[in-house]
Amino acid sequence: MDFSAVSILCVGDVMLDRFLYGSMERISPEAPVPVLLLDKRREMAGGAGNVASNVTALGGRAILVGLVGNDEAGGLLRSALAARPNVVDATVSTTSRPTICKTRFIAAHQQVVRTDEESRLPLQASEAADLCAALEARTEGVQAVVVSDYGKGVCSPQVLETVFRAAKARNIPVFVDPKSSDYRLYCGATCITPNARELAEASGLSVETEAMVEAAARKVMADAEADAILATRSEKGMMLVQRNGAVVSIPTRAREVFDVSGAGDTVIATMALAVGSGLSFEQAMRVANAAAGVVVGKLGTATADIQEVLHELDEQSGPDEAPHLLPRAAARAQVQRWQARGLKVGFTNGCFDILHPGHVSLLAEARAACDRLVVALNTDASISRLKGPERPVNTLDSRARVMAAVRYVDAVVAFEDDTPLETIKALMPDVLIKGADYKPEDVVGADVVTAAGGRLVLADLAQGHSTTSTIGRIRGA
């Protein structure tokens, strides 16, 4: 999973998140309030800016469009954006309002008070014109658009109309994190990501059960003429409801810390990146759920990096999500997740038609040479070409089920060609294992693996065992 080629246009209410840390040791003599002795401060981009930060943390590129005032907070916000690699600051300066700033005072890991600085002035004509011009100029070349509506003025009907028109003209998906309960404002959105409270308010329906969530989602989806609604339900997980009738619900994974601060920004950033990279809505939802799981396991507003998400996806995989025979693309994704965690992935291949002690010995030695082992099986047609029309004895499905049950094996994949070269190129393992009856120069794919920094291992073979001799004994009997 690589988002490095994906660019996301992030538009909406941009703000400065300021954190002031200190200790409380006494009560003020002026009033019965505690005195906070400050010793540390931290500033970061919030609102749509936090979506942009999430995009880059996951390996993508973000272009940020919003309003920033000509004030101290605006300067700090621009500095925070400049410090984020792969964030393009396309924000619009304004003299009509201050930079939105949320200041949190924290003592003993506890938020004591928060102050908000913002203007409730409606979006001015000059501001709207500048925002629309910035959007028109920046929509070209992006793979998705995220609209972060915090109800602070940027997401006016004029600006939203410009976003949807420009995206539609270029066939670019638009993801909306809504604030308004009137989803007709988001007409043209590809996917809207309300939380449970927002969905209830927008639909006027209860969302206590999954059936109720689906009904509410379909109501607002019709209002917005959207393709999908992704309802985030805090500790209850997520539900994806699509216009084509598909409904998928997935739970969260239990964790010690459950802080939802910024989780919505993480979800919509991940969805946009995943769909922008070519994944389906359902695949994107699973990645977004993993990213949200990482973020809620951290205190305060946070982001998730791609390695954390890959690890979380790996941890969330259960027996039902690990079939005995993986498609090549799924096997490649699994290998990348393992490698992202620093694990060495090994690869071996063969017919493994009738599993015998020689095979088990090879697999044991192969697994000892790596942290995770992938076994590639010849398909039935491939074996017939190699061994003759009477082989294989066991079908691919049967062989894969037996192989997946061997404790040394972590994943099973199949290849149709006479050699596994294309599969090796796709998976790019760290260790390639074959039997010691091969010469290094005769091992298919050895040059590819070693050129990429991997190594070849020739495993000792247990003598006296072969599928051919086993078949011969059966026929003789």
Summarize pLDDT for 379-414 with one digit per residue, the tens.
Answer: 999 999 988 888 898 899 889 999 999 999 999 999
Between 200 and 436, the more confident residue is 200
Q: Which residue has the tokens 């993993």?
A: 290
- Segment 35-86, tens digit of pLDDT: 989 989 989 999 999 999 999 999 999 999 999 999 999 999 999 999 988 9
- Segment 347-359, tens digit of pLDDT: 999 999 888 888 8
Question: Is there a catalytic annotation at residue 460?
Answer: no
**Is 197 flagged in the annotation as binding?**
yes
Residue 248 near residue 282 (C-beta atoms within 8 A): yes
Of the candidates 98, 46, 48, 49, the one whose C-alpha atom is nearest the C-alpha of residue 72 is 98
CATH 3.40.50.620 in the chain: give the residue spans: 328-476
* Pairwise CA distance, residues 51 & 68, whole Å: 16
Q: pTM for the complete prediction?
A: 0.67
Catalytic residue among 265, 380, 410, 430: 265
**Is 195 flagged in the annotation as binding?**
yes
Of the candidates 341, 270, 258, the one whose C-alpha atom is nearest the C-alpha of residue 295 is 258
Cα 335 → chain centroid: 16
- Segment 113-168, tens digit of pLDDT: 999 999 989 999 999 999 999 999 999 999 999 999 999 999 999 999 999 999 99
CATH number (1.10.1040.50, 3.30.70.2740, 3.40.1190.20, 3.40.50.300) of 7-316 reads 3.40.1190.20
CATH 3.40.1190.20 in the chain: give the residue spans: 7-316
Q: How many helices (H) and strands (E) does the chain have?
A: 16, 20
- Which superfamily does CATH assign the domain made up of 328-476 to? HUPs (3.40.50.620)
* Pairwise CA distance, residues 363 & 428, whole Å: 19
How confident is the model at residue 359, as a pLDDT?
A: 87
User: CB atoms < 10 A from the CB of 348, how many?
Assistant: 26
Q: How confident is the model at residue 30 (pLDDT cuts 50, 70, 90)?
A: very high
How confident is the model at residue 66, as a pLDDT?
A: 96
Between 473 and 181, the more confident residue is 181
Mean pLDDT across the chain: 88
Question: Would you say how long the chain is, in residues?
Answer: 477
Q: Which residues of 176-202 are buried (b: 16+ CB within 10 A; e: fewer)?
A: bbbbbeebebbebbbbbbbbbebbbbb
